[in-house]
Amino acid sequence: MKFNIAVAQSGGPTAAINASLCGVFEGAQGFECIDRVYGSINGIEGIINNNLINLKQVITTAHDKDLLIKTPSTVLGSCRYKLANADENELDYVRIIDTFRRNNIKAFFYIGGNDSMDTVMKLDDYMKKNNIDIKVVGVPKTIDNDLPETDHTPGFGSAAKYVATSLQEIIRDSRVYSIPSITIVEIMGRDAGWLTASSCVLRANGEPAPHMIYLPEREFSVEKFLDDIRLAQQKYKAVVVAVSEGIDCSGGKTGVVDAFGHSYLSGVGKYLENIARERIGCKVRSIELNVMQRCGSHIASLTDLEEAERIGAEAVKTAVEYGLSGVMMTFKRISNNPYRVDIVPCDVRDCANKAKYFPVEWINDEGNNVTIDALNYFLPLIKGEPVIEYKNGIPVHFRLNQ
Amino acid sequence: MKFNIAVAQSGGPTAAINASLCGVFEGAQGFECIDRVYGSINGIEGIINNNLINLKQVITTAHDKDLLIKTPSTVLGSCRYKLANADENELDYVRIIDTFRRNNIKAFFYIGGNDSMDTVMKLDDYMKKNNIDIKVVGVPKTIDNDLPETDHTPGFGSAAKYVATSLQEIIRDSRVYSIPSITIVEIMGRDAGWLTASSCVLRANGEPAPHMIYLPEREFSVEKFLDDIRLAQQKYKAVVVAVSEGIDCSGGKTGVVDAFGHSYLSGVGKYLENIARERIGCKVRSIELNVMQRCGSHIASLTDLEEAERIGAEAVKTAVEYGLSGVMMTFKRISNNPYRVDIVPCDVRDCANKAKYFPVEWINDEGNNVTIDALNYFLPLIKGEPVIEYKNGIPVHFRLNQ
């Protein structure tokens, strides 16, 4: 007897989250027992509200699939919805089970980060406690690369490639004038410094900048930061610095007041720009790579997209063929040269609500750069370029609707 | 008897300014009478200080040339140096002539924008007044597209392609959540709105966003801006707005105070973000495309790069074959479909220190968007993609030195 499966996307967008969606969709085609693949609109909210679409009706051709893989963000929408504990409030769970039963859904795949794995864990706990045979499997996704148990996360490699590519262009831009300058580039990663650290990859091509890299995993001192810059200025006319948005420079997040007299979150980049201008006195600018770094699909990593698709397909196999539930799929790096990863499930309880930080042993003694081990870890993840389809000079995106 | 020529790059970087450098270099190869092509380091400063390099020693292979064309910013460095009037202070002129004579330079090509054309004009005036037979020719360059006499400027098409590509990704990113949101994207162009206006090209691919476009060529009212957003919100959950950095929203440029109590230049995007959050109350964010939009060579327009190279080569022909001086090279659009341009010189006095603004007749009556004529003007300029060479997953740039 045939059954259906459902898939949803959650949390912040990446360039690879639609590739994982495609992977689940494609993976299901390998099983005769699977009939429909439902896409849930706006993450778990779509399951709660029975707001589903039949993916076969929207992904109808190989061209659709190809475009979808290279389209950034979440084509099904996303959410930041946190399930209550079932023993405190069962309502959502009842509605979810109702949706699953009404649509004959026997397996649910949730593509997301740390918070989404909390949903996977809670749902799986609920199913097991109530003897309901519906599998729940997590598919990792985050540009922050901060999920435990997995070597890296889909979406990270593309973000890292965007950061490296843009940073290299910013470095070119910073070197044009004959006067000394400081360029501070603020990179995403509220708690973990992986993406900021990945800016070291330019070294592999002989580029000495960024001259300093500051991560939230090490204590940050504004005085040390200024000293580091002064030292770098003895060697380089245009000093370029990569800082994680998550570094704690006390006051940095609340020191700016707008026209209404309200203080608001200024980025650490802008904060440090003002301090450097005040204390060092040369030309200083700060640049935020902003949301472009998480949705820059036109410069996505082919390795990342292919792995994201593959891990989605493996998730289906894990639930349907191996019968596992309450797991998150992970990458295990088998070898670095040649680069090769296996995909294996882990207990979602080991990932949910937990974060994996950048290893402190990969930060140099000075606390202002990363080691060769970090470089070797990052390099394979940004390799390869997808062939982008252009129309009127602009990349073509897959769109469900306007 | 053979002679040499010199070329320099000036003003803000673009993705196409090295392509024009290559065009001058290549154009010179067509003339047996030209021996060396000197590159001047840091614009006119290199001529004043006799700081030249022999380009044949650095562009040695077809591969070098290919990389140089696709490398953003100015490989020879740039400057913001303004020549004094010769009748007030002749010193720079004496040093320039000395450099030209010492190196047997008979023609000088200055790649730059409005300010650089001031240098071309003054130098040509000086040569003519003193009966010195050295040709001075301007090669246009600016992402602002604000040079008079020419249909468009090299560098603009690539910047527009970057803006369209990034904006489309930001639009994808803005649509993921089920709650209403406003995204304000601030685009370069201090006085002229060309680059911001070019964001309309997404319409050609069926994308309704950006829903509003605000240019410095029309008076800006914060109240009208808020009303426009409220109206758009009736139709779109995620409203996306493109604003030129040059719009005048009184107070916007001085209203932000940093941790030291100093006011500093906050962008108009951040200013409008705070007002929209205060007055409309939904999720609001602002994004600055910053210097990436002027140096995003990995997403350059092939049309732009090819034209930039061609106009550089034509400049050499204009000086050496036609014997013209005191001119700037321009594009004349012969037809739009198929797109075809001719390259002709104009009197540099018609461009120097002058700006060409976005036509007010291409702005809609509401003052919050542009017309189909604008769309048709922009589309050919962003077409085509250069083949980018990657090493370790990162675009390879041509580099003179570290």
Name A372's Cβ contacts closer than 8 Å, sequence gap at least 6. none
d(CA A27, CA B178): 28
Q: Kindly state whether A148 is in contact with chain B, defined as any CB-CB distance less than 8 angstroms.
A: no
Mutate to test the interface with A, among B41, B176, B275, B382 (most CBs of A within 10 A): B176
In a domain, A363, yes or no: no
In a domain, B364, yes or no: no
The reported pLDDT for the residue numbered B260 is: 43
> Is B402 a residue whose pLDDT tops 60?
no
> Is B112 a residue whose pLDDT tops 70?
yes
Other Cβ atoms within 10 Å of A271 Cβ, number: 25
Same domain, residue pair A105 and A121? yes
Q: Kindly state whether B202 is in contact with chain A, defined as any CB-CB distance less than 8 angstroms.
A: yes
Question: Which chain B residues touch A177 with a CB distance below 8 Å?
Answer: 42, 77-80
In a domain, A127, yes or no: yes
Could you identify the residue written with the tokens 């946190």?
Answer: A82
Q: Tokens at residue A85, please?
A: 């504990």
The reported pLDDT for the residue numbered A124 is: 98
d(CA A48, CA A236): 57
Shortest alpha-carbon distance between residue A236 and chain B (Å): 9
Q: Kindly state whether B260 is in contact with chain A, defined as any CB-CB distance less than 8 angstroms.
A: yes
Q: Kindly state whether B382 is in contact with chain A, defined as any CB-CB distance less than 8 angstroms.
A: yes
Q: What angle do CA B158, B159, B163 make, to 5 degrees?
A: 115
Please give the single-letter amino acid code of residue A153.
T
Which residues between 113 and 142 in chain B have a beta carbon less than 8 angstroms from any beta carbon of chain A?
Answer: none
Give the residue from B319, B385, B338, B375 showing the smallest Cα distance to B127.
B319
Same domain, residue pair A164 and A150? no
Shortest alpha-carbon distance between residue B140 and chain A (Å): 18
Which tens digits make up the pLDDT trace of A297-335? 999 999 999 999 999 999 999 999 999 999 999 999 999
Q: Kindly state whether A387 is in contact with chain B, defined as any CB-CB distance less than 8 angstroms.
A: no
In a domain, B372, yes or no: no
The reported pLDDT for the residue numbered A250 is: 67
Same domain, residue pair B117 and B208? no
The reported pLDDT for the residue numbered B400 is: 83
Question: Which chain B residues touch A257 with a CB distance below 8 Å?
Answer: 256-257
* In contact, A367 and B378? CB cutoff 8 Å: no
Question: What residue in B sits closest to A13 (Cα-Cα)?
Answer: B173
Same domain, residue pair A142 and A24? yes
A78, A166, A392 member nearest B204 (Cβ)? A392
Same domain, residue pair A273 and A302? no
Cross-chain Cβ contact A397/B168 below 8 Å: yes
* In contact, B211 and B232? CB cutoff 8 Å: yes
Cross-chain Cβ contact A287/B287 below 8 Å: no
Cross-chain Cβ contact A299/B299 below 8 Å: yes
Could you identify the residue written with the tokens 């590519």?
Answer: A165
The reported pLDDT for the residue numbered A267 is: 84
Same domain, residue pair B132 and B8? yes
Same domain, residue pair A79 and A91? yes
Which tens digits make up the pLDDT trace of B7-43? 999 999 999 999 999 999 999 999 999 999 999 999 9
Shortest alpha-carbon distance between residue B206 and chain A (Å): 9
Higher pLDDT, B250 or B57: B57
**Mean pLDDT value across chain A:** 94
Q: Kindly state whether A259 is in contact with chain B, defined as any CB-CB distance less than 8 angstroms.
A: yes
The residue annotated as part of the active site, out of A124, A125, A144, A228, is: A144
Q: Kindly state whether B78 is in contact with chain A, defined as any CB-CB distance less than 8 angstroms.
A: yes
A147-156, B38-47, B172-181: least confident range = B172-181
The reported pLDDT for the residue numbered B254 is: 39
Judging by DSSP bridges, how do beta strands B327-336 and B135-140 pair with one another?
A: parallel
d(CA B125, CA B136): 10
d(CA B266, CA B256): 6
Instruction: State mean pLDDT over A193-217.
Output: 97
Same domain, residue pair A83 and A125? yes
DSSP-assigned letters across all residues of B182-224: EEEEEE--SS--HHHHGGGGGGGGT---S-EEE-TTS---HHH
The reported pLDDT for the residue numbered A266 is: 62
Q: Which of B295, B310, B333 is the last residue of a domain?
A: B295
CATH value at residue A266: 3.40.50.460
Question: Which chain A residues touch B396 with a CB distance below 8 Å?
Answer: 205
Cross-chain Cβ contact A255/B255 below 8 Å: no
A13, A168, A201 member nearest B173 (Cβ)? A13
d(CA A210, CA A239): 8
Q: Which of B246, B266, B295 is the last residue of a domain?
A: B295
Does B144 participate in catalysis according to the annotation? yes
Q: Kindly state whether B394 is in contact with chain A, defined as any CB-CB distance less than 8 angstroms.
A: yes
Cross-chain Cβ contact B394/A161 below 8 Å: yes
The reported pLDDT for the residue numbered A89 is: 93
In a domain, B281, yes or no: yes
Which tens digits make up the pLDDT trace of A160-187? 999 999 999 999 999 998 899 999 999 9
Same domain, residue pair B114 and B21? yes
Classify burial at B3, counting beta carbons within 10 Å of its beta carbon; exposed 0-12, middle 13-18, buried 19 or more.
Answer: middle
Mutate to test the interface with B, among A17, A169, A181 (most CBs of B within 10 A): A169
Instruction: State mean pLDDT over B314-336.
Output: 98
Q: Kindly state whether A243 is in contact with chain B, defined as any CB-CB distance less than 8 angstroms.
A: no
Q: Which of A294, A310, A327 is the last residue of a domain?
A: A294
Q: Kindly state whether B190 is in contact with chain A, defined as any CB-CB distance less than 8 angstroms.
A: no
Q: Is B110 in a helix, a strand, or coil?
A: strand
H-state helical runs in B79-185: 91-102, 114-129, 156-174
**Residue B314 pLDDT level (bands cut at 50, 70, 90):** very high
**Residue A248 pLDDT level (bands cut at 50, 70, 90):** confident
d(CA B11, CA A176): 9
Question: Which chain A residues touch B258 with a CB distance below 8 Å?
Answer: 255-256, 266, 270-271, 274
**Residue A269 pLDDT level (bands cut at 50, 70, 90):** very high
The reported pLDDT for the residue numbered B266 is: 62
Task: Kindly state the percentage of chain A with pLDDT values over 70.
Answer: 95
Give the relative orientation of helices B302-320 and B156-174 as an angle to the nearest 10 degrees.
Answer: 170
Question: Which chain B residues touch A287 with a CB distance below 8 Å?
Answer: 290-292
Which residues between 290 and 349 in chain B have a beta carbon less than 8 angstroms from any beta carbon of chain A?
Answer: 290-292, 294-299, 301, 303
Question: What residue in B sits closest to A75 (Cα-Cα)?
Answer: B176
**Mean pLDDT value across chain B:** 94
**Residue A44 pLDDT level (bands cut at 50, 70, 90):** very high
* In contact, A276 and A249? CB cutoff 8 Å: no
CATH value at residue B79: 3.40.50.450
> Is A352 a residue whose pLDDT tops 80?
yes
Cross-chain Cβ contact B394/A201 below 8 Å: yes
Which tens digits make up the pLDDT trace of B336-366? 999 999 999 999 999 998 999 999 999 999 9
- What spatial distance separates the first Cα and last Cα of chain B, rounded to whole Å? 37
d(CA B293, CA A257): 28
Shortest alpha-carbon distance between residue B393 and chain A (Å): 4
Cross-chain Cβ contact A297/B169 below 8 Å: yes
The residue annotated as part of the active site, out of B124, B125, B144, B146, is: B144
* In contact, B19 and B69? CB cutoff 8 Å: yes
Which tens digits make up the pLDDT trace of B243-268? 999 998 864 443 444 444 444 446 89
Instruction: State the Cα torsion A119-A124-A126-A131 to the nearest 10°.
Output: 160
Same domain, residue pair A142 and A190? no
> Is A3 a residue whose pLDDT tops 50?
yes
Shortest alpha-carbon distance between residue A323 and chain B (Å): 31
In a domain, A364, yes or no: no
Can you give chain A as a three-state secondary structure string? CCEEEEEEECCCCCCCHHHHHHHHHHHHHCCCCEEEEEEECCCHHHHHCCCEEEHHHHCCCHHHHHHHHCCCCCCCCCCCCCCCCCCCCCHHHHHHHHHHHHCCEEEEEEEECHHHHHHHHHHHHHHHHCCCCCEEEEEECCCCCCCCCCCCCCCHHHHHHHHHHHHHHHHHHHCCCCCCEEEEEEECCCCCCHHHHHHHHHHHHCCCCCCEEECCCCCCCHHHHHHHHHHHHCCCCEEEEEEECCCCCCCCCCCEECCCCCEECCCHHHHHHHHHHHHCCCEEEEEECCCHHHHCHHHCCHHHHHHHHHHHHHHHHHHHCCCCCCEEEEEEEEEECCEEEEEEEEEHHHCCCCCCCCCHHHECCCCCCECHHHHHHHHHHHCCCCCCCEECCEECCCCCCC
Would you say the pTM of this structure is higher than 0.90? yes
In a domain, A366, yes or no: no
Question: What residue in B sits closest to A251 (Cα-Cα)?
Answer: B259
Range of the domain at B45: 3-155+297-353+383-395
Q: Kindly state whether A224 is in contact with chain B, defined as any CB-CB distance less than 8 angstroms.
A: no
A71, A173, A402 member nearest B295 (Cβ)? A173
**Global ipTM:** 0.95
Can you give B5-20 as a three-state secondary structure string? EEEEECCCCCCCHHHH
Shortest alpha-carbon distance between residue B171 and chain A (Å): 9
**Residue A264 pLDDT level (bands cut at 50, 70, 90):** very low
Same domain, residue pair A210 and A275? yes
Give the residue from A201, A246, A249, A224 showing the smallest Cα distance to A366.
A224
In a domain, A362, yes or no: no
Cross-chain Cβ contact B201/A392 below 8 Å: yes
Same domain, residue pair B172 and B111? no
Please count the structural domains in chain A.
2
Q: Is B90 in a helix, a strand, or coil?
A: coil
Please give the single-letter amino acid code of residue B251.
G
The reported pLDDT for the residue numbered A190 is: 82
The reported pLDDT for the residue numbered B1 is: 87
d(CA B139, CA B119): 12
